[in-house]
């Protein structure tokens, strides 16, 4: 199908326009103070407007992602546009229920009383999106912020300029910037944004930049969610269904040309089944993308030259078993299996974020678990086995943000599962109700009855302490 190159829009805010950023932030604070966003009807109406906006710009968004890094239309819809549309449907269906004050169990000490938890918006949120899923990972948090009643400034990635321009145009056409605004620009623009005081910051990107964001947020004691990355393992035990494991690992790894934060970063396979598994993965690469993936319409490209050069340098590590072909002009790197790799190789020192899968082995499962536990906690972990005891062992002794048993990546699809990292792979979880709760301050309120007021708590206390001790023990 022929592709249409999307026209790049003029940036909404240029990199050096600090005054413009401050002006938009001031307008959003003033609008939030009016109380309009507190009304459930307003929130639903605005979310429905976002739903309409996405529908109107759907093809333009998918064309933009193809322009930026050759993202296949199937992937652009299923992992970006359609993904966000499903999130919107879920939020609109459940928003009234989520927004209602939740009554909690009462303490007899406060009798007579009733206690509730109210979900209040923070105020003005800053959402900084990444380049690898430039629509989904920007819009999904925005949906949570809007549902909770916040205003928001969103900063799309400058590394996918065509998609960023379409997103900026879409938001500008459908929302007043006193409510939702888009700020385009590079590093300097992000620095300007982080100098301001926001009420909440949501960042998706690298661990290195996440530390910078958290440091800036600390200057204003701003709560922050960090969705980062890490080296997510796919562990395959010898009792696994190897054909199924190979197919699902190949899909999860080479989706979006490996530029997925929860893609299997490396393979840990039991030595006894290594050769069979690698042959099967190689076969599925051919089945998915043909003998020459460069000609496949279903395989994306690396986002820019810097990332291409970084990834290409990793091919000097170990021994290429499948793939290894590159083309700098089109930023193409073939789906690659890299054998004979150790933890000392450069490829194992950082998150790969590309279509290269290094292979390591283990003899006993304890050894694999110890290899994972000896490194920073990953964003995701995938374990393939048909042994329930082994599954329980891996889940008990490894710490990771989220993952799958006998699959890869698919845990992100269920909006009822909170998605987020732990340690160096991030903090805070979102999706579905978790997004609403993330962007809501939980306000605790006690309603005390007036018809009874026991004198026990009031001075002078006299000799009430023994009675109070008995009461506390009884409770």
Catalytically active residues, by annotation: 227, 261
Give the number of C-alpha atoms closer than 13 A to the C-alpha of residue 373, restricted to the C-beta side.
Answer: 12
**Residue 251 class from Cβ within 10 Å (0-12 exposed, 13-18 middle, 19+ buried)?**
middle
Question: Rounded to an integer, what is the distance from CA 352 to the centroid of its chain?
Answer: 17
Q: Which tokens hold the place of 395?
A: 């889940």
**Cβ atoms 273, 361 nearer than 8 A:** no
Angle, in degrees to the nearest 10, between helices 187-194 and 207-219: 30
- DSSP per-residue letters across 157-209: -TTSHHHHHHHHHHHHHHS-TTTEEE----HHHHHHHHTS--SEEEEES-HHH
- DSSP per-residue letters across 302-317: -SSHHHHHHHHHHTTS
Q: Which tokens hold the place of 2?
A: 């022929």
Strand partners, 102: 117
**Cβ atoms 421, 226 nearer than 8 A:** yes
Residue found by looking up tokens 């819009």 in the block: 139
Strand partners, 103: 116
Distance from C-alpha of 156 to C-alpha of 163, rounded to nearest angstrom: 8
User: What angle is formed at CA 134 by the lines to CA 129 and CA 137, rounded to 5 degrees?
Assistant: 55
User: What angle is formed at CA 386 by the lines to CA 383 and CA 392, rounded to 5 degrees?
Assistant: 60
**Cβ atoms 159, 303 nearer than 8 A:** yes
């Amino acid at each position: 199908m022929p592709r249409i190159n999307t026209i790049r829009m003029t940036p909404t805010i240029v990199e050096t326009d600090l005054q413009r950023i401050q002006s938009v932030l001031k307008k959003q604070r003033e609008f939030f103070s009016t109380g309009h966003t507190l009304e459930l009807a307003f929130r639903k109406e605005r979310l429905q407007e976002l739903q309409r906006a996405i529908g109107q710009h759907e093809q333009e968004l998918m064309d933009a992602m193809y322009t930026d890094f050759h993202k296949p239309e199937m992937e652009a819809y299923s992992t970006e546009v359609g993904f966000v549309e499903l999130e919107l449907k879920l939020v609109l269906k459940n928003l009234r229920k989520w927004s209602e004050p939740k009554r909690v169990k009462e303490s007899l000490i406060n009798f007579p009383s009733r206690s509730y938890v109210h979900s209040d918006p923070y105020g003005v949120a800053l959402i900084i999106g990444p380049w690898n899923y430039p629509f989904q990972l920007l819009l999904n948090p925005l949906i949570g912020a809007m549902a909770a009643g916040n205003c928001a400034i969103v900063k799309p990635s400058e590394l996918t300029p065509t998609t960023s321009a379409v997103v900026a145009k879409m938001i500008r056409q459908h929302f007043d910037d006193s409510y939702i605004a888009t700020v385009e620009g590079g590093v300097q623009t992000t620095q300007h944004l982080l100098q301001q005081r926001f009420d909440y910051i949501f960042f998706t990107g690298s661990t290195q930049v996440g530390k910078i964001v958290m440091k800036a947020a600390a200057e204003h004691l701003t709560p922050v969610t960090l969705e980062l990355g890490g080296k997510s393992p796919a562990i395959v035990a010898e009792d696994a269904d190897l054909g199924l494991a190979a197919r699902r690992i190949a899909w999860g790894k080479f989706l979006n040309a490996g530029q997925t934060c929860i893609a299997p970063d490396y393979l840990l396979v039991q030595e006894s089944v290594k050769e069979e598994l690698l042959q099967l993965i190689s076969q599925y690469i051919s089945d998915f993308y043909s003998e020459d993936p460069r000609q496949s319409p279903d395989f994306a490209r690396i986002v820019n030259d810097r990332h291409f050069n970084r990834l290409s340098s990793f091919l000097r590590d170990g021994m290429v078993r499948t793939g290894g072909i590159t083309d700098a002009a089109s930023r193409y790197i073939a789906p690659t299996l890299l054998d004979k790799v150790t933890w000392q190789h450069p490829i194992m020192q950082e998150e790969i974020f590309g279509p290269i899968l290094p292979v390591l082995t283990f003899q006993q499962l304890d050894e694999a678990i110890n290899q994972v536990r000896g490194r920073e906690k990953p964003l995701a972990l995938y374990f393939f086995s048909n042994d329930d005891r082994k599954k329980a062992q891996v889940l008990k002794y490894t710490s990771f943000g989220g993952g799958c048993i006998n699959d890869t990546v698919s845990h992100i699809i269920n909006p009822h599962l909170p998605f987020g990292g732990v340690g160096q792979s991030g903090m805070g979880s979102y999706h579905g109700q978790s997004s609403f709760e993330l962007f809501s301050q939980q306000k605790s309120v006690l309603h005390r009855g007036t018809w009874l007021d026991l004198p026990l708590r009031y001075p002078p206390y006299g000799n009430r302490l023994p009675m109070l001790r008995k009461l506390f023990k009884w409770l």
